[in-house]
A = this chain, B = another copy of it.
Amino acid sequence: MGLKKISLKDIALELGVSKSLVSFVMNGKAKEMRVSDAMAEKIILKAKQIGYKANPMAQALRTGKTQTIGLIVADISNSFYSKIARSIENSASKNGYHVIFGSSDESGIKSKELINLFFAKRIDGLIISPTIEDKDHIVKLQEHGIPVVLIDRYFKDIKTNMVISNNLNGTFHIVKRLIENGNKKIGFITHNTITTATEYRVKGYQKALKKFGIPYDVDIIREVPHINNRIETENSVRELIELQKVDAIFFFNNTIALEGGKIIRDVNKKKLRNIEIGCFDSSSYLELLDVPYIAAVQQVEEIGNTAIKLLFLQMESKLNIITKKVLKVKLIDKL
């Protein structure tokens, strides 16, 4: 079933003109093609009357452009990524594009599958928070002429546009502040994924320790899975506090900080100790914990906005140099 679809031909037939003419007018090329104003108006009117809408599949087949942008993230249900998705959606729809999305769960296999799938779907551009395994696929995509923008993490040895936060600097300032506040032994709970984001947060941590002559101690660094990590996080926090006797803990991100923070809150409440928290990224929920913390807030919306802006520039071939946009983070100090 379904109502009759109307095409260019219907308008052309009703008006007794050629499809070409109608196509030109509908695509705003009336002036360029020197179609008479009267004719153009007649066509536009008729199109509106019978409710003509160009078939995007036919256009895509003909032009090779699908007006579709792909977005691949670790998990669309994670608020960091869903906020980015939202800001990308806003810009995209303003420009007549729509967004298809996929979640990789930080799995290289899934991520590469998604890239292949989106490539097969003929996306016009891709914004991706890649896993370490995606490099070759991304290079290939670019070789096929498909613009790519990386977000959150990147590859040092391939040329791609990217938008990231200043991980090293943000972490450095958090840990520095923790040290200045009197903490000598600062634990670190990080993800087990291998990305530049994890790498540079570790570097920022090390840099701060070094500045104050505090030795880097692998015994107080813990890695937890990027998902379903509640148990590991809780255990790690307990170990760091009870066995390693840390004064403070720096968390890789707010999800982990919240899990671990509950343990810390309970410890602090019992007046056993007063553990302080450092956290990359923040959320309004962190303050609910009622634990002294310092956090570096990412400009999440801006990551999405900048990424799509860079993507559009590439798509219009107006971006001639590789752009690496490093966004500042904002410190929230509740120590």
A residues adjacent to B (C-beta < 8 A): 1-3, 53-58, 60-61, 66, 68, 75-79, 82-83, 85-86, 89-90, 93, 98-103, 117-118, 120-122, 143-146, 258, 262, 284-285, 288-290
Contact = CB atoms under 8 A, between A and B. Distances in A.
A1 B79 contact: no
Nearest to A259: B284
A76 B98 CA distance: 14
Contacts of A77: 79, 82-83, 85-86
Nearest to A80: B77
Contact of A2 (B82, B144, B289): B144
Nearest to A290: B290
A121 B76 contact: no
Contacts of A66: 57
A100 B103 contact: no
Nearest to A93: B102
A173 B232 CA distance: 35
A317 to B, nearest CB: 10
Contacts of A55: 61, 122
B121 A98 contact: yes
B101 A99 contact: yes
Counting chain B CB atoms within 10 Å of each CB, which of A118, A121, A144 scores highest? A121
Nearest to A287: B262
A133 B146 CA distance: 39
A253 to B, nearest CB: 15
A76 B89 contact: yes
Contacts of A258: 284-285, 288
Contact of A144 (B3, B102, B146): B3
A36 to B, nearest CB: 28
B56 A58 contact: no
Given A86-B77, A103-B89, A53 B120 contact: yes
